[in-house]
Amino acid sequence: MQRIVHLEGESLIAEIRRPDFPHQWIEYPRTDASQAAERLAEATIAIVNKLPLDKDLLAASPGLRMVAVSATGTNNIDLDACEERGIVVSNIRGYAVHTVPEHVMSLLLALARDIVGYRQAVLAGEWQRSAQFCCFAHPIRDLHGAILAVIGSGSLGNGVARLAAAFGMRVLRVERKDAAQVRPGYTPFAQALRQADAISLHCPLTPTTRHLIGEAELRTMKPSALLINTARGGLVDEAALATALRQGWIAGAGFDVLSTEPPKDGNVLLDPRLLALPNFLLTPHVAWASRPAMQALADQLTANLEAFARGQPQNRVA
């Protein structure tokens, strides 16, 4: 009988169907690093979302045979250690193909049309004091005709590209930053930064993508450009971004992620003065979290467990 330990139950608002093989299901609302070893001591399957599973923790879990990740990203798991110990790691794929792209377009629209700025204008009474029927407090841009550079060509990047095209945007597929050759249909990384009116990030966080966008890249972008990040906070040098927004290197940014989450010890992007800017929008890692998307994730999670139990693991990353 499998002993399944779900370590982060509160990270998902959905009905998780119990798998159709003999098992014991133990669920905790949340687990911190100091509790993980004890809770996994007798587990054969661990379900995790963002909890770090390092080499030492895996070594302290001798019966562990599978890690079922209730997310797409696996940068919190020591995949090499899992392979060494013969632990199968499966993640979730394709569940957020509508919700994340819609969030990206929401951020783009809000920034391009300065929705926050206009709301603040109404709250400040500027429309009420206007001598005419409207209030031209801020310039408004259309997405139609603008160039969007999409960095990352998975299901989410492709979903954003489809919605952007429907808005009449010209979409650039961006080649990897360190690529020796440019694939057909792709634009060189530096060229895309120079041309884009907006950039949307959809790549995993790896040693090669950490701080993919730093001071040099932000200075390369147009002063009128927008930067959207719904992928991973570490893809962007946050200190450099804060400076870029304050000094006007770029026109604005919409983020759904930070380098450390939750940001209990603070973060340069949580400076109240920065958050008060109408051209910086920060949401608390919820781009993925529509109710339909979370249910699709839960259904795929159970399917991953059942595939493993059949001896035919799916969505393997290790």
**Amino acid at site 269:** L
Q: Is 144 a catalytic residue?
A: no
Binned at pLDDT 50, 70 and 90, residue 12 comes out as very high
Mean pLDDT value of segment 260-269: 93
Regarding whether 214 and 130 lie in a shared domain, the answer is yes
Regarding whether 301 and 274 lie in a shared domain, the answer is no
Dihedral, CA of residue 317, residue 61, residue 39 and residue 12, to nearest 10: 0
- What pLDDT shows up at residue 112? 98
pLDDT greater than 90 at residue 133? yes
How far does CA 148 lie from the centroid of its chain? 18
- What pLDDT shows up at residue 174? 98
In a domain, 314, yes or no: no
How many CB atoms neighbour CB 93 within 10 A?
16
Regarding whether 105 and 86 lie in a shared domain, the answer is no
Q: Which of 184, 111, 174 is nearest to 148 (CA)?
A: 174
Binned at pLDDT 50, 70 and 90, residue 303 comes out as very high
Q: State how beta strands 23-27 and 2-6 pair.
A: parallel
Cβ burial, residue 19 (10 Å; 0-12/13-18/19+): buried
Cβ atoms of 66 and 308 closer than 8 Å: yes
Show contacts of 175-181: CB within 8 Å, 24+ apart. 177/208, 177/209, 177/212, 178/208
Regarding whether 201 and 78 lie in a shared domain, the answer is no
pLDDT greater than 90 at residue 34? yes
Cβ atoms of 208 and 181 closer than 8 Å: no
Q: Please report, for residues 144, 301, 318, the alpha-carbon distance to residue 17 in angstroms, rounded to integers and kept in the order given.
A: 43, 9, 24
pLDDT greater than 90 at residue 88? yes
Mean pLDDT value of segment 248-273: 96
- What percentage of the chain carries pLDDT values higher than 70? 100
Regarding whether 103 and 9 lie in a shared domain, the answer is no
Binned at pLDDT 50, 70 and 90, residue 87 comes out as very high
Mean pLDDT value of segment 244-265: 96
How many CB atoms neighbour CB 264 within 10 A?
7
Mean pLDDT value of segment 109-114: 98
Regarding whether 122 and 68 lie in a shared domain, the answer is no
Cβ burial, residue 317 (10 Å; 0-12/13-18/19+): middle
Q: In the chain, which ranges are E strands?
A: 2-6, 23-27, 45-48, 66-69, 88-90, 147-151, 170-174, 186-187, 198-201, 226-229, 252-255, 280-282
- What pLDDT shows up at residue 226? 98
Q: Is 261 a catalytic residue?
A: yes
Each residue of 114-129: pLDDT tens digit? Answer: 999 999 999 999 999 9
Indicate the number of domains in the chain: 2
**Amino acid at site 257:** V
| CA–CA gap between residue 81 and residue 315 (Å, rounded) | 18
Mean pLDDT value of segment 7-30: 97
Regarding whether 176 and 40 lie in a shared domain, the answer is no
| CA–CA gap between residue 122 and residue 138 (Å, rounded) | 12
- What pLDDT shows up at residue 169? 98
Of 8, 103, 232, 238, which residue is the catalytic one?
Answer: 232
pLDDT greater than 90 at residue 218? yes
Mean pLDDT value of segment 140-167: 97
pLDDT greater than 90 at residue 157? yes
Which residues form the domain of 70? 2-95+292-309
Regarding whether 146 and 259 lie in a shared domain, the answer is yes
Mean pLDDT of the chain: 97
pLDDT greater than 90 at residue 216? yes
Binned at pLDDT 50, 70 and 90, residue 264 comes out as confident
**Token pair recorded at residue 148:** 């969007």
| CA–CA gap between residue 61 and residue 39 (Å, rounded) | 9
Of 261, 291, 310, 316, which residue is the catalytic one?
Answer: 261
Regarding whether 36 and 132 lie in a shared domain, the answer is no
Regarding whether 278 and 131 lie in a shared domain, the answer is yes
Mean pLDDT value of segment 12-27: 97
Mean pLDDT value of segment 258-273: 94
- What pLDDT shows up at residue 110? 98
Q: Is 232 a catalytic residue?
A: yes
In a domain, 316, yes or no: no
Regarding whether 246 and 109 lie in a shared domain, the answer is yes
CATH for 27:
3.40.50.720
Residues 6+ apart with CB under 8 A from 170: 145, 146, 147, 148
